[in-house]
């Protein structure tokens, strides 16, 4: 099962846009794009896994 299926509804369009763009992102860029709220470590891992499945790396 794809990690994208585990994402909250408000995160799915953001992650999908990053996947379609197809380039690596920094943690800072990801922080700016995601809704301003606290994320659990599981939610962050799900985001990173979904991006990784599509060959997108997250750098510092």
Whether this model's pTM surpasses 0.75: yes
CA distance 17 to 15: 5
Q: Is the dihedral of CA 54, 1, 46, 8 positive or negative?
A: positive
Task: Give every residue of the chain whose pLDDT is below 70, as ranges.
Answer: 1-4
CA distance 54 to 32: 21
Query: In this structure, are residues 51 and 15 in contact, taking their beta carbons and an 8 Å threshold?
Result: yes
Give pLDDT tens digits for 27-40: 888 888 887 777 88
């Amino acid at each position: 099962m794809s990690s994208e299926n585990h994402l909250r509804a408000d995160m799915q369009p953001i992650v999908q846009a990053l996947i379609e763009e197809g380039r690596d992102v920094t943690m800072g860029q990801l922080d700016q794009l995601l809704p301003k709220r606290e994320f659990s470590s599981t939610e962050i891992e799900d985001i990173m896994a979904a991006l990784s499945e599509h060959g997108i790396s997250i750098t510092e």
